Structure 1
C-alpha cells in the first residue's frame, strides 16, 4: 500500500531527496545485524564465554527480529512514518551503545533484543516511506535503493566492522554503528517530510495468509535455506582460521562473500523471470551444498589453497543471497492479493533461518561441523523444494 504524501515546507515529492538517507539507515541496520560475525572471538574472550555461546547474540537478534516484526507492524501501523523511523533508529542506536558498554553477556543479549526491535520497526517502513516520496514511475528504483542498503552492508559493513574491531576493539566498533544510527535519525528528522501512518491492521489479519496451504509450504524453504548458509557464517572468523585464513585476510574473504551476495541477489531476479523460481533455487541450493562440502573437506584435510577458499567463499555468498527474489516471486504467486504480507513474512523467515543456523552451527563447536551441517541442511532444502508442489490461490 502506498501512503499519501503530505509534504513539509520546502519538500518535493519528485525529488526523493531523503531516499538515499533512508538507504543509509538500512545500511546501518544491515551492518548491525551481521557485524558481530566479524569479531565474535574477541567478544567471547572479553565477556568470558565460548565462541559458540557468543553466537547466541546473533541468534537472539535474528529470532527477535522475526518475532517482533509482525507485532510491531500491527502496533505501529497508524504512527506517522517520520516519527516511527526516527524512533526506530534512536532505539537501534541506544541498543548498540548498550551492547558496546555491556558489562556481561546477559546484558549484551538484552541489548541485542532491543536492537532487533529497532531494526524490525525501521526496515519495512523505510521502504514504504521511500515509495511515497517519489512519482509512481520511480517507486521501484526508490525501493530497490533502500533495500540495497542491506545487501551493501553484507559486502562492506561487515568487513569494515571487523576491521574496526581489529584496530580499536569490538566495543568501539559497535559504538560506530550506534553513531551512524543516531546520525541518520537526525538527518531524517530534518529532511524527511511528514508522512501519515496507515490504517490499523490487526495482527490476526496479517497472519491469516498463513492459512493458505501453498504459503505454508513455501516459507519453510526460506527458513531451511538461510539456516544452511548461517551454520558457519556467524562464526566466520574461527572457520576461516581453520582454513588458514587469519588477520586482515579474513576481512578480504568477508568482502568476497559480500560481493557474491550482491551478484547472487541481483542476478537471481532476472534468472527467475526467465527460468522460474524453483529452478533458480534448486541451482542455488546445489551450489551451496557443494561449496560447504568442499570447505568442510578442506578443513578436514588441512589443505587450504587461498585461491580455492576465495572462490568458494564468493559462491557461498552468491548462493546464500540468491534465495530472496525467487522465494518472494513464489510467495506472491501463491497469494497475489496478499503480496505485501507474504513478503514481510518471508523477511521474518530469513531471520528465523539465520537464528536457527547460528544455533545449529554452535552445537558442534568445530569448523568442519559448521560447514558439513550447513551442507546437509542445503541438501535437505533442495529435497524439500523438489517434493512440494505449491499452487496459486484461486
Structure 2
C-alpha cells in the first residue's frame, strides 16, 4: 500500500528536485528511517488499542476514533499541504515535517483525554502528509538515473519495515511499559530521523506553486473517477478489523501472549503482497491481481470470523490467516496505481497522489465501520470486512 505514498508526488514536487545527482543509496537510507517512523505512527495504535481505551476511560470502539481521525485527516490534508508547501526548500520541509511528527506523538502520549488525543493525531497526520510524498520525490532526485528505482525501493522499504518491525515493537513497548511510552518512542525516532536528514541530505530547492483546484482537476476524468472508489472500498475492507487486531487475536487464540508474533506475520504478508503484486501486475495485468487480492481478503477475514466462534485456534493457522490478510491488503495499491497511470499518463503524479488520499479515506471509513460494529462482537466485525472485500471484487470485475 505505502509505495503509492512515496511515488505519489505532484508536478510541483517533481519540479522541486533536480534530476540525477550523484548521491548514492546511503544518503537515501536516512529518508527510509523517516518513512519507517511515519508508517509505524500511522498504524501503531492497533498494537495497544485496548490498553489505551482503558487508560482513557473509553470503550475500545471509541478509542478507535483516533485511528479514523488520523486517516481522514491525512486523506483531506495531503493535497492542501502539498499545494502550500511546494515552494519550500526540500530538506527544510522534510526536517520540519519529522519534527512536527515527533511533537505530535509526544502530545499524543501526554493527552489526558480522548478529545485531546484525537487533536494530536490529526497534527501527526498533517506532518505525515507533508513528509512521505516528498521523501519519495527527493530520493529519486538524489541518485543517478540508473539506480533511481532502487532508491525508491529503499524509501518504500522503510514503510514496509514498519509493518514487520515497527508495529510489533510498539506492542512490545506498550506491554512492557505502556502505550504512552510507545508513542514517545515514535517521537524520539522522528527526531533522530530529522537529525539525520539535516546532517546528510543536500539542499534541494522548492518548485512552483500549484493551486489545490488544479491538483483536483484530474477528477474530471471519468475513467479516473471509476477507479478511485475501488481503492476506497478495498482499503476499507482490509481495515474494518485492523484497529481491533488485538481483540481479534484474543478471540482466535485466547490471551496467549502471541500477539507480537502474529503482528509480525501480518507484516511479512504485507511485504510479500506488495512485492508480488507489482511483479504480477506487470505480467498478468492489474484486474487479475486485484481479483485475487480481494478474493483472498474475503476468504481470510471470513475464515477468521468463522474460527473466532470456537477458540482457541492453532497459532500456526492464525499465523496463516494473518499473512493472507496482510498480503491481500497491501497487494491492492501497485495494481490500482498501474490502472490510474495507464488511464491518465500525462497526469500520473497527480492521480497517484489522489490514490494515496483515497487509501487513507478507505482506512478512515473501514475503521469507522469497525468501531460501529465491534460492540456486536469480533466475528461480526470480521464478517463486515469480508463482505466489503466481496463487494470490491465484484466492482473490480464490473469496471475492468
Structure-2 residue corresponding to 1:384:
395
> Relative to structure 2, which stretch is displaced further, 244-253 or 227-236?
244-253
Contact kept in structure 1, 2:237 and 2:386, CA below 8 Å: yes
- Could you list the runs of 5+ residues in structure 1 that have no partner in the other structure? 390-394
Q: Give the Cα–Cα distance (whole angstroms) in 2 for the partners of residues 191 and 148 of structure 1.
A: 19
Cα distance between partner residues in 2 of 1:112 and 1:194: 30
CA distance, structure 2, for counterparts of residue 284 and residue 15 of structure 1: 35
Contact 2:281 2:335 in 1 (8 A): yes
Structure 1 residues 209-288: aligned runs within 5 Å: 209-288=218-297
Q: Is the 8 A contact 2:28 2:151 kept in 1?
A: yes
The separation in 2 between residues aligned to 1:113 and 1:4, in whole angstroms, is: 28
Given that residues 81 and 194 in structure 1 are in contact (C-alpha distance below 8 angstroms), is that contact kept between their aligned partners in structure 2? yes
Do the aligned residues in 2 keep the contact of 1:3 with 1:132 (CA within 8 Å)? Answer: no
1:89-123 CA-partner distances (Å, limit 9, x unpaired): 01100000000000111110000000000000000
Q: Structure 1 residue 87 and structure 2 residue 87: aligned? A: no
1:132 paired residue number: 141
Please point out which of 123, 126, 143 is paired with 1:114: 123
Q: 2:40, 2:186 within 8 Å by CA — same for their partners in 1?
A: yes
Is 1:369 matched with 2:392?
no
Aligned length: 385
Provide the C-alpha distance between the structure 2 equivalents of 1:324 and 1:176, rounded to a whole number of angstroms. 29
Query: How far off is 1:303 after superposition?
Result: 5.2
Q: Residues 66-215 of structure 1: matches in 2 within 5 Å? A: 66-215=75-224
Query: Is contact 2:135-2:155 (8 Å) kept?
Result: yes
* Cα displacement string for residues 41-92 of structure 1 (whole angstroms, at most 9, x for unaligned residues): 0000000000000001100000001111000000101110011000100110
Cα-to-partner distance string for 1:124-162 (whole Å, 9 max, x where unaligned): 000111111111111111112112211110111101100
The aligned residue for residue 392 of structure 1 is none
1:242-278 Cα offsets, whole Å, 9 max, x none, are: 1124353011001000000000000111100111000
Q: Is 1:5–1:194's contact at 8 Å kept on the other side of the alignment?
A: no
Q: Which whole-Å deviations, capped at 9, do the CAs of 1:199-230 have from their partners, x for residues lacking one?
A: 11111111111110111110111111111011
Q: 5+ residue gaps in structure 2?
A: 1-13
Q: 1:13: Cα distance to partner?
A: 2.8
Q: Which residue in 1 is equivalent to 2:7?
A: none
Q: Which runs of 4+ in 1 moved over 6 A?
A: none
Structure 1 equivalent of residue 324 of structure 2: 315
Q: Work out the CA distance in 1 between the residues paired with 2:16 and 2:122.
A: 29
Measured in 1, the distance between the counterparts of 2:117 and 2:255 equals 26
RMSD: 1.4
Of 33, 51, 71 in structure 1, the residue corresponding to residue 60 of structure 2 is 51
Contact 2:91/2:202, CA 8 A, preserved across alignment: yes
Do the aligned partners of 1:6 and 1:193 also contact (CA within 8 Å) in 2? Answer: no
User: TM-score, normalised on structure 2?
Assistant: 0.94
8 Å CA contact 1:81, 1:125 repeated in 2: yes
What's the CA shift for 1:2? 5.5
CA contact (8 A) 1:2 1:132 kept: no
Between 308-317 and 254-263, the greater mean CA deviation after superposition: 308-317
* Preserved CA contact (<8 Å) 1:56 1:359: yes
